[in-house]
Amino acid sequence: DADVTQTPRNRITKTGKRIMLECSQTKGHDRMYWYRQDPGLGLRLIYYSFDVKDINKGEISDGYSVSRQAQAKFSLSLESAIPNQTALYFCATRSTSITEAFFGQGTRLTVV
């Protein structure tokens, strides 16, 4: 089983719909992140959380919200999806004691 699991893996939704992307991890890490990947732009940080009670905006948080339901779960919501939110979304986890960040397989979201 993957250490960082994202659901769904693929989703097509209509403009204006609310959608939630979920991430769960079995690594016991305290830090979780949501990134968005667009071609040629690399990964850009949307939100990050250092523990259950800590939520921080990243570089491109407008139009997104997050919820850290438990140490192992971090969900990303699009309250009213728009076409330029079509992208590949990655969840990542990291521990304060190690240097490596672990990534999920990604969720490909298409907004039509």
Partner 1 sequence: GEDVEQSLFLSVREGDSSVINCTYTDSSSTYLYWYKQEPGAGLQLLTYIFSNMDMKQDQRLTVLLNKKDKHLSLRIADTQTGDSAIYFCAEGDNAGNMLTFGGGTRLMVKP
Site residues, partner 1 (CB under 8 A): 4, 31, 33, 35, 40-45, 48, 50, 58-59, 90, 92, 94-96, 99-106
Q: Which of these, 30, 35, 29, lies nearest to 52 by C-alpha position?
A: 30
Task: Tell me whether residue 18 or residue 27 sits nearer to partner 1 (CB atom).
Answer: 27
d(CA 104, CA 112): 24
Task: Tell me whether residue 19 or residue 104 sits nearer to partner 1 (CB atom).
Answer: 104
Minimum distance of partner 1 from residue 80's CB (angstroms):
25
Q: Which residues of 1-29 are buried (b: 16+ CB within 10 A; e: fewer)?
A: eeebbbeeeebebeeeeebebbbbbeeeb
Minimum distance of partner 1 from residue 76's CB (angstroms):
15
Task: Tell me whether residue 84 or residue 99 sits nearer to partner 1 (CB atom).
Answer: 99
